[in-house]
Each structure stands twice: as structure tokens, then as C-alpha cells.
Structure 1
Amino acid sequence: MGDRRETLVAVTEQLQEYDVITDAFLAKSFTDRLLIVDVTEGEQLPADALELIREHDFQAIDSLDTDDKRPRSAVGDVGGATRHHFVDMQTRGTHQSYVVS
């Protein structure tokens, strides 16, 4: 898993070089690794950035939960940016959630 993480950290660093991308980082949900990409409000995620994301086996989060196969990733606005979520398909479902009671 270490090599994969190092590769994905390098991808986030590449994404941060785009002028319209204000932030890119890795996160974990209960079961999945996520790539979060913030794009300046009113701008589109650049096509070559999206290709880089797909090349590293990430899929737009909304396309996993719907019958509509359009690759939608935008989940909302944060500050002056639109936030996009992508799921790491290589490790999907392998993280364990913890419940604190």
C-alpha cells in the first residue's frame, strides 16, 4: 500500500499545479480512499487533469451510485471552489470503519 500512496501523493501534487485547481488531497471514507479536488468556482476540471485522475484508477463518486453513467464528481461548493470527489478503485472497500460509542 505504501507505493500506491506515494504514487497518489505525487498525483495530488501534479493536480495542484493547475491554475484552476485550488486544492487536491487524499482522504478516507469509512471504506474507501478518496481523492478530493477543489476547482475555482465557475471553472471546469481540466480535461487533462481528469485524464490523469482516471489513469490512476479513480472514478467519479456519483457514477458509482447511480444508473446514470455520466462521470459526475462535483459534490458541492467550499469557499470559492467546487469540490469534486473520486474513489480509488484499486482499494475500494478495503478500509475498515470504526464506530466510537
Structure 2
Amino acid sequence: MSDREAALRDLAARLREDDAVSDAFVAKSFTDQQLILDLEDDASLPRELADLLAAHDLRGANEVYGSGGSDPSFAGDLEGATRHQFVDTRTRGDHQSYVVD
């Protein structure tokens, strides 16, 4: 595990301690590392969490990928939660996906 991935895992553990957060974890897309944040259904992303994510070079996936929408990180509704997706812009494009023919 890289130092960056370890730092993001530590951040996810720290985020899980917040009352508005039901889960937080690190994931990978095709070329990017992401932090997924599930917020309690009635919670919006608290400003202090948004600032903390930005301080760790994490930006909303909709903003990074130009997906549109009014919320830069909203990824969908879950049962009892909403999912938000953040891209690690510090290492963006550094990861490789393998395609098998």
C-alpha cells in the first residue's frame, strides 16, 4: 500500500467518526483513486468535511469528470443514505486498469 493510499484510508476512518457520515472508504476507478462518502439520508455535506476533503486534494467526481449536476460530489441515493464520490486529484491518472481481451 502506498503512503497516499494509507493516508486516504486514515482520512476515511476519521470521516466515519462524524455523525453525518454512515460510511467512508477508498476505492479505485479505471485510473483514479477515490474516496466514497455515504452521508446519513437527511444530512448534507457539512462545510468542515468539504474543507477537510479539499485540504487532502479530494474533489467531487462530478466536478473533476465534468459530469454536470448542481452537486459536485453527489453519486446517488442509497437506502438511508446518499453517496458522494471524491477523486484524489493528487494522484489522478497514476493508476492503471488492465483490460483482458
Q: Same fold (TM over 0.5)?
A: yes
Runs in 1 of length 4+ with deviation above 4 angstroms?
none
1:4 is matched with which residue? 4
Q: What pairs up with 1:55-66 in 2 under 5 angstroms?
A: 55-66=55-66
1:15 is matched with which residue? 15
**How many residue pairs align between the two structures?**
101
Letter in 1 for 2:61: I
Q: Deviations over 1:40-68 (max 9, x none)?
A: 11211111111111111011111123397
Aligned-pair identity (%): 44
Q: What pairs up with 1:1-101 in 2 under 5 angstroms?
A: 2-66=2-66, 72-101=72-101
- Determine the C-alpha separation between the residues in 2 that align with 1:46 and 1:87: 18
Gapped regions of structure 2 (runs ≥ 5) = none
Q: Name the SS for the 1:98 alignment partner.
A: coil
Give the TM-score normalised by structure 1.
Answer: 0.89
Contact 1:59/1:71 (CA < 8 Å) preserved in 2? no
CA RMSD of aligned residues (A): 2.0
- Determine the C-alpha separation between the residues in 1 that align with 2:23 and 2:78: 11
| C-alpha deviation, 1:16, in angstroms | 0.4
